[in-house]
Amino acid sequence: MKLLAFFGAIALNVAQTARFAIEETGREITLLGSSLAWLFRPPFRFRQFLIQLDFVGVQSVYLICITGMFTGMVLALQGHIAMSRYGAESLIGGAVALSLARELGPVLSALMVIGRAGSAITAELGSMRNTDQIDALASMAVHPVQYLVAPRVVAATIVLPFLAILFEFSGMVGAYIIYTGQLGQDGALFINSIKDYLEPDDITHGLIKAVVFGLILSLVSCSKGFHATGGARGVGLATTRGVVISSLLILASDYVMTALMFKPST
C-alpha cells in the first residue's frame, strides 16, 4: 500500500511538473506571437529599441571581448597540448577558428548576455509587474508588450550575432597571442590554418545560431519578468528561472541546430 502511495506521489509530481512546463511554454509562445504582432503596429517604439540595443549590445562589448579573448587563449593552450602529441601544432589556428565560429562564439556570448542582460531584464520587468508599473502602462492605453517586450526581443535578436562575431574575433586574437607568444610558434601557420579550414558556412551557421539564441534568451527573460508575482521573492525566483531555462534552452537548441546544420563527414 505504501509502495502504491509512493509511486502515486511520484506520478502526481511528474504530472504537475509536465502541466507547469506546458503552461510556461504556452505563455512564452503567446508572448512571442503578441510581440511579433505588435512589431508591425504603430506607434513604433524606436527609442525603446535603441535603449535596449545599447543595454543588451553596446554595454556587453567589454564583457564579450574579455570572455572571448580568454576562451581563445585557453583553446590555443589546450589545442597545443593535444596536437603536439601528433606534431600537428600547425592546425591549432583552424581548430580554434572552427570551435569559435561554430559553437563557442554563439553559445558563450549568449550565456554571457543571459547573465548580464537577461537577468536584468527579468528583474526589471518583474519589479515593474510587482509595483503596478505594467498595469499603469496598460491603464494609460499603452500596450505593455509593445512598449516593454517587443523592443527587447528585437534588440537582443539583432545584436546577438554581432556579439558572437566580436567574441570570435577576440578569441582568435587571444589564441594568436598565445600561439605566437607563449608557445613560440609561427603566426603565418596560424593564419594559413584558418584559411585552410574555416568555410563561410561555418560562420553563417554560427550566426544563425546566435539569432535563435538572442530570440530565446530575450523571450524567456521577458516572459519570466512579465509574469513574475509574489514580491521581491517572486522576482528573485523569476530571475533564477529565467537564467536557468534560457541557458538550458540555448544548449538544447544548439544541439538540434548543430545536428541539422553540420552533417558529420563519412
Partner 1 sequence: MIRVNDLHKRYGDQKVLDGVDFSIQRGTVTTIIGRSGGGKTVLLRHLMGLESPDSGDVIIDGENLSRMGDADLNRIRRRFGILFQEGALFDSLTVAENVAFPLEEHTKFSKSEIMHVVREKLGTVGMTGHEAKFPAQISGGMRKRVALARALALDPDIVFFDEPTTGLDPVTKSAIYALIRRTHQQASTTYVIVSHDIRGVFSVSDETLMLWEGKILAKGTPEEMERYPDPIVKQFISGSPEGPIHVD
Between CA 209 and CA 212 the distance in angstroms is: 5
Q: Is 174 helix (H, G, I), strand (E, B) or coil?
A: helix
Q: Tell the smallest beta-carbon distance from residue 158 to partner 1 (Å).
A: 22
Shortest Å, Cβ 176 to partner 1? 41
What's the number of CA atoms in the CB half-sphere (13 Å) around residue 160?
Answer: 32
Q: Is 185 helix (H, G, I), strand (E, B) or coil?
A: coil
Q: How far apart are CA 165 and CA 174, in angstroms?
A: 14
Q: Which is nearer to partner 1, 27 or 143 (CB)?
A: 143
- The single residue listed with the C-alpha cell 496598460 is 138
Nearest CB to partner 1, comparing residues 135 and 201: 135
Task: Supply the minimum distance, in Å, between the C-beta of residue 38 and partner 1.
Answer: 10
**Closest distance to partner 1 from the beta carbon of 127 (Å):** 7
Q: For residues 74 and 116, which CB has a smaller minimum distance to partner 1 in the complex?
A: 116
Q: Which is nearer to partner 1, 23 or 196 (CB)?
A: 23
Residues near partner 1 (CB under 8 A):
43, 127-128, 131-133, 135-136, 138-143
User: Which H/E stretch holds residue 38?
Assistant: helix 2-39
Q: Which is nearer to partner 1, 133 or 192 (CB)?
A: 133
CB of 42 to partner 1, least distance (A): 12
3-state SS string over 197-254? HCCHHHHHHHHHHHHHHHHHHHHHHHHHHHCCCCHHHHHHHHHHHHHHHHHHHHHHHH
